[in-house]
Amino acid sequence: MSEKLKSAVPLGDRTTIRIGGPARYFCEAESVDALVDALHNAQSEGLPFVILGGGSNIIFEDSGFDGLVLAIANRGISILEESPGQILVEVQAGEEWDRFVKYAVDRGWSGIECLSGIPGRVGATPIQNVGAYGQEVSETIDSVLVYDLEEERLRELKNQQCEFAYRTSLFKKQATGRFIVTAVRFRLAPGGRCNLRYGELSRELGADSTDDLARVRATVLKTRRSKGMVIDPDDPMSVSCGSFFLNPVVSKQEWVALLERAGLAADAVPHFDTADGIKIPAAWLIEKAGFKRGQRSGAVGLSEKHALAIVNYDRASSHELREFARTIIERVQGRFGITLAPEPVFVGPAP
């Protein structure tokens, strides 16, 4: 294997929640060639592998990973096409996501400004179709460039092929990890406006739309900081994976059953109609199931700033984290009949 290969690398140092034992092998792939080489070597030696971006949505076991952890580190932003009101930009998978957002905002390219401050790398953004404050990355992705492990070749998947939906995509659904994202192409709008679809944001900015993207970015960052949703070494609440659970989306029947079970009227439960069903804020369900912000169980607990984030308060183990998450799932299930699904990817048993 290449000289970039290291062994016994502590994975807790590579994840925002700071949990995880050593990777038997660890390789930082700074180019697509290096990535493909490392993959082929791992496959020929029968080593299991895991792809790592910025480590902000992944949970490793304390026992570590007995295989190769392949960190995606190819970088670069290039303009492919430019026409009035439209620009096609290719960003390599290892770029920091927020560096790219700032780059776009500084140039007045609209489309991703509400996604300011989300940690991680560009290559991971299509995996769970990252979203915040009324924007999702799928709205601006033109195509995703991947290495297809099954066909052993580089491919371009157009937006429609990626099966984007709320916090999921073809890539997240592929249990076998068939596709490795090498770059993402975004179609942005130079000089475009930002449609503010999130109440808190439009109230703060005093409008429903604006062309002041820098102000949108600053407001989003301020709001995120107040919730511990920006990685900050001085904020212990950001030692997390962000939102730990997905907001459940239920059918009409499940919604009626939930209200009956909880003995609540429809207007007593916050909810949003979506194309896929009725979305209920998981944070509300957690708090109503009896959990309080800042509530701890050993070294883990809910964030003091947000009921949806689980924080590693003091060198927590993967076991403690899983048990705490399981307690939340069980209590919400008991009170509302809804099973919360974790958002991060578990390399090992899930709660």
Catalytic site residue from 243, 297, 303, 318: 243
Sheet holding 249-250, edge to edge: 249-250, 277-279, 272-274
User: Looking at 25-33, 48-56, 200-208, 272-280, which segment touches ligand FAD (CB under 6 A)?
Assistant: 48-56
Q: How many CB atoms neighbour CB 85 within 10 A?
A: 10
Q: How is residue 104 written in tokens?
A: 């776009």
Cβ contacts of 105 within 8 Å, gap of 6 or more: 113, 116, 213, 214, 216, 217
Q: How many CB atoms neighbour CB 3 within 10 A?
A: 5
Q: In angstroms, what is the minimal distance from the CB of 94 to ligand FAD?
A: 8
Out of 52, 145, 282, 302, point to the residue binding ligand FAD (CB under 6 A): 52
Out of 20, 22, 53, 64, point to the residue binding ligand FAD (CB under 6 A): 53
Q: One symbol per residue from 93 to 132: x for binding ligand FAD (CB under 6 A), - otherwise; what is it?
A: x------------------------xxxx-xxx-xx-xxx
Q: In angstroms, what is the minimal distance from the CB of 191 to ligand FAD?
A: 26
Q: In angstroms, what is the minimal distance from the CB of 235 to ligand FAD?
A: 9
Q: In angstroms, what is the minimal distance from the CB of 272 to ligand FAD?
A: 16
Interaction of residue 32 with ligand FAD, rule CB under 6 A: no
Out of 72, 101, 105, 258, point to the residue binding ligand FAD (CB under 6 A): 72
Residue type, 48: P
Residue 197 designated active-site: no
Q: How is residue 285 written in tokens?
A: 């369900």
Whichever of 55 and 277 has its CB closer to ligand FAD, that residue is 55
Out of 12, 57, 183, 301, point to the residue binding ligand FAD (CB under 6 A): 57
User: Looking at 185-193, 208-216, 233-241, 326-334, which segment touches ligand FAD (CB under 6 A)?
Assistant: 233-241
What is residue 344's three-state secondary structure? coil
Residue 343 designated active-site: yes
Interaction of residue 20 with ligand FAD, rule CB under 6 A: no
**Cα 227 to Cα 283: distance, rounded to the nearest angstrom:** 12
Question: Cα 32 to chain center, whole Å?
Answer: 23
Minimal CA–CA distance to 61: which of 309, 349, 299, 311?
349
H helical segments located in 128-193: 170-173
Interaction of residue 55 with ligand FAD, rule CB under 6 A: yes
**Cα 337 to Cα 351: distance, rounded to the nearest angstrom:** 17
Sign of the C-alpha dihedral computed for residues 225, 230, 234 and 236 taken in this order: positive
Interaction of residue 58 with ligand FAD, rule CB under 6 A: yes
> Do residues 122 and 93 make contact, with C-beta atoms less than 8 angstroms apart?
yes
**Cα 94 to Cα 17: distance, rounded to the nearest angstrom:** 20
Q: In angstroms, what is the minimal distance from the CB of 268 to ligand FAD?
A: 27
Out of 180, 220, 258, 269, point to the residue binding ligand FAD (CB under 6 A): 180
Residue 226 designated active-site: no
Interaction of residue 308 with ligand FAD, rule CB under 6 A: no
Specify the DSSP element, H or E, that contains 107: none
Q: How many CB atoms neighbour CB 13 within 10 A?
A: 9
Q: In angstroms, what is the minimal distance from the CB of 60 to ligand FAD?
A: 10
Catalytic site residue from 14, 167, 187, 224: 167
**Contact residues for ligand FAD, defined by CB under 6 A:** 16, 50-58, 72, 93, 118-121, 123-125, 127-128, 130-132, 180-181, 229, 231, 238, 240-242, 345
Active site residues: 167, 243, 343
